[in-house]
């Protein structure tokens, strides 16, 4: 079952904050978070860089999984 | 093949390390001597654990090992290739490079977690996928790798081992090389218009439009004549890390240089476009335009990072540009006028990213 959440984050934040936010939201200790259903960016990456490289239409779409999917 | 020579040098590049166990973890007297390790530039520090541990295992306090390193107190980000860390943090190259290793007390507030080889492999494969996405618009090729290919790829990288194996497996990924204007006919280049580098060339090599780049920038506000006077980075806050792909623009009659690439990646520092590139002698036109002594002086000033303000160049706006004090890739300080395509094809890391370390001198705000 999949769910979609939309929220805003400052570009100066690191991707680690996206991961943490999702973990807290979904009550998980760890989550695997991906872009384009395929790769997991380094948590130290800046959201603004990821958005510039991989976002479109004003959004950065992330996918999450409980297990190491697309390994 | 001549083209492979540079790649081989890069692959075999290594940093001699002298690794000291942090004193808080020394439980025996006398303390153990430091470990001397040759670390592959393209490798990652946590992968050295099996080589380092034997030196210190008898003196460590009880507990679970979580290895991490620091240089002069700065915890080292383990996912950055060893060679890049050295180029960034040691502008005056120290040989051997003195590092401190810790097996306890992982600084989770500064470093993302690392659970050994698996974490490094995960980081590597994801970077490779990210590069594939940048180059091809998708990472199907990496995701569809056979299990044995994946294993072979990782094994070849892990100890900067088998370059042939790496090349064999990575060529299947069709990540291409950047079209190098110097290895194809100049005339075929000139038919391309001002877009990204174009289509498959006659040799069957796919050219890449977007090039994955990781840029590490730190700045100084004072002038330093020598590299050894440059202050060292003391905190990760002082380093601007920029993960941004670049598209080479092929213009008729000139090639896209390393300097062009830096200017494109850091537009805010190079807003006023100096005419240096237009003035650079082309391969054929050199004797028409400049005398050899003028060329030499221009090359010299470019390497020193100072903008040439002689005669025929625009001088009014250059003082507000930043100056490149140091630019290192794979431990090399390439001349800024080198074709960027050559730099990419020969100096990129195995995950297909080009890592560039740059120190800029930024003019003070109240400069006139």
User: Phi and psi at residue A52, in whole multiples of 5°?
Assistant: -60, -40
| Amino acid B61: pLDDT | 86
What is chain B's alpha carbon radius of gyration, rounded to the nearest angstrom?
A: 22
Tens digit of each residue's pLDDT (9 = 90 or more) over B228-259: 888 899 999 999 999 999 988 777 778 889 99
The domain that holds B129 is classified in CATH as 1.10.246.190
| Amino acid A8: pLDDT | 87
> Do B262 and B336 belong together in one domain?
yes
Provide ipTM, 2 decimals: 0.90
Classify each residue of B273-294 as buried b or exposed e, where b means 16 or more C-beta atoms within 10 Å of its C-beta. Answer: ebebbebbbeeeeeeeebeeeb
Mean pLDDT, residues B139-143 taken together: 91
**E strands of chain B, at which residues?**
14-21, 35-40, 68-71, 74-75, 97-102, 210-211, 213-220, 240-243, 246-247, 323-328, 354-361
Determine how many CB atoms are found less than 10 A away from the CB of residue B168.
14
DSSP H/E element including B155: helix B147-158
Q: Which domain holds residue B135?
A: 117-173
| Amino acid B192: pLDDT | 41
Establish if B241 touches chain A: CB-CB under 8 angstroms: yes
Closest CA to B352 of B47, B133, B84: B133
Sort strands B68-71 and B74-75 into parallel, antiparallel or unpaired. antiparallel
Residue B287's pLDDT band (cuts 50, 70, 90): very low
Closest CA to B246 of B340, B347, B138: B340
A38–B129: do the CB atoms touch at under 8 Å?
yes
Does B155 reside within a domain?
Answer: yes
DSSP H/E element including B5: helix B2-12
Residue B274's pLDDT band (cuts 50, 70, 90): low
Closest CA to B259 of B208, B333, B356, B335: B335
Residue B13's pLDDT band (cuts 50, 70, 90): very high
Does A20 reside within a domain?
Answer: yes
| Amino acid A4: pLDDT | 79
pTM metric for this prediction: 0.82
Q: What CA–CA distances, in Å, run from A63 to A14, A35, B34, B52, B129?
A: 16, 6, 45, 38, 15
Q: Which residues of A touch B113 (CB under 8 A)?
A: none
Residue B118's pLDDT band (cuts 50, 70, 90): very high
By mean pLDDT, which of B54-63, B94-103, B181-190 is the weakest?
B181-190
- Give the CA-trace dihedral at B97, B100, B106, B112, to 10 degrees: -10
Whether residue A47 contacts residue A60, with contact meaning beta carbons closer than 8 Å, is answered with yes
A42–B133: do the CB atoms touch at under 8 Å?
no
Does A38 reside within a domain?
Answer: yes
Whether residue B337 contacts residue B299, with contact meaning beta carbons closer than 8 Å, is answered with yes
* Nearest by CB: B133 against A39, A46, A71: A39
B243–A40: do the CB atoms touch at under 8 Å?
no
* Nearest by CB: B243 against A35, A40, A45: A45
Among chain A residues, the shortest Cα distance to B111 is held by A44
> Number of folded domains in chain A?
1
| Amino acid B367: pLDDT | 46
Does A45 reside within a domain?
Answer: yes
Does A4 reside within a domain?
Answer: no
Mean pLDDT, residues A57-68 taken together: 87
DSSP H/E element including B142: helix B140-143
Decide: helix, strand or coil at residue B139.
Answer: coil
The domain that holds A37 is classified in CATH as 3.10.20.90
Q: Answer with the one of B102, B128, B149 that is the final residue of a domain.
A: B102
The domain that holds B266 is classified in CATH as 3.10.20.90
CA dist B224 and B312 (Å) reads: 27
CA angle, corner B367, sides to B366 and B368, nearest 5?
115
Establish if B41 touches chain A: CB-CB under 8 angstroms: no
Q: Which domain holds residue A40?
A: 15-65
């Amino acid at each position: 079952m999949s769910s979609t959440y939309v929220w805003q984050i400052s570009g100066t934040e690191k991707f680690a904050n996206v991961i943490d936010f999702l973990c807290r939201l979904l009550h998980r200790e760890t989550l695997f978070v991906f872009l384009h259903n395929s790769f997991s960016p380094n948590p130290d990456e800046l959201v603004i860089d990821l958005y510039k490289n991989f976002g479109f239409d004003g959004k950065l779409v992330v996918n999450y999984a409980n297990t190491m999917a697309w390994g | 093949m001549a083209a492979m020579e540079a790649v081989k040098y890069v692959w075999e590049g290594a940093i001699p390390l002298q690794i000291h166990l942090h004193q808080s973890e020394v439980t025996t007297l006398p303390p153990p001597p430091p470990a001397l390790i040759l670390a592959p530039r393209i490798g990652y520090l946590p992968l050295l654990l099996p080589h380092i541990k034997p030196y210190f295992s008898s003196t460590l306090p009880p507990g679970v090992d979580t290895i991490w390193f620091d240089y002069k107190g700065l915890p080292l980000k383990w996912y950055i290739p060893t060679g890049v860390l050295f180029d960034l943090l040691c502008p005056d190259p120290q040989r051997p490079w003195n590092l401190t290793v810790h097996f306890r007390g992982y600084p989770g507030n500064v470093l993302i977690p690392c659970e050994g080889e698996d974490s490094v492999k995960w980081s590597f494969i994801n970077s490779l996928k990210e590069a594939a996405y940048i180059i091809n618009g998708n990472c199907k090729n990496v995701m569809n790798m056979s299990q044995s290919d994946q294993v072979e790829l990782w094994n070849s990288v892990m100890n900067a081992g088998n370059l042939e194996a790496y090349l064999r497996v990575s060529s299947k990924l069709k990540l291409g090389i950047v079209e190098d204007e110097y290895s194809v006919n100049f005339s075929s280049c000139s038919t391309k218009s001002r877009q990204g580098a174009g289509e498959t060339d006659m040799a069957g090599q796919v050219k890449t439009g977007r090039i994955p780049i990781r840029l590490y920038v730190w700045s100084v506000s004072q002038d330093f004549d020598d590299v050894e006077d440059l202050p060292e980075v003391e905190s990760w806050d002082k380093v601007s890390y920029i993960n941004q792909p670049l598209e080479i623009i092929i213009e008729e009659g000139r090639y896209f240089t390393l300097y062009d690439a830096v200017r494109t990646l850091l537009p805010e520092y190079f807003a006023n476009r100096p005419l240096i590139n237009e003035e650079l002698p082309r391969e054929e036109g050199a004797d028409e335009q400049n005398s050899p002594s003028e060329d030499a002086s221009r090359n010299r000033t470019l390497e020193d990072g100072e903008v040439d303000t002689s005669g025929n160049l625009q001088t009014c706006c250059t003082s507000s540009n930043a100056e490149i004090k140091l630019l290192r890739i794979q431990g090399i300080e390439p001349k800024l006028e080198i074709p960027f395509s050559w730099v990419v094809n020969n100096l990129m890391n195995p995950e297909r990213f080009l890592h560039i370390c740059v120190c800029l001198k930024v003019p003070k705000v109240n400069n006139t």
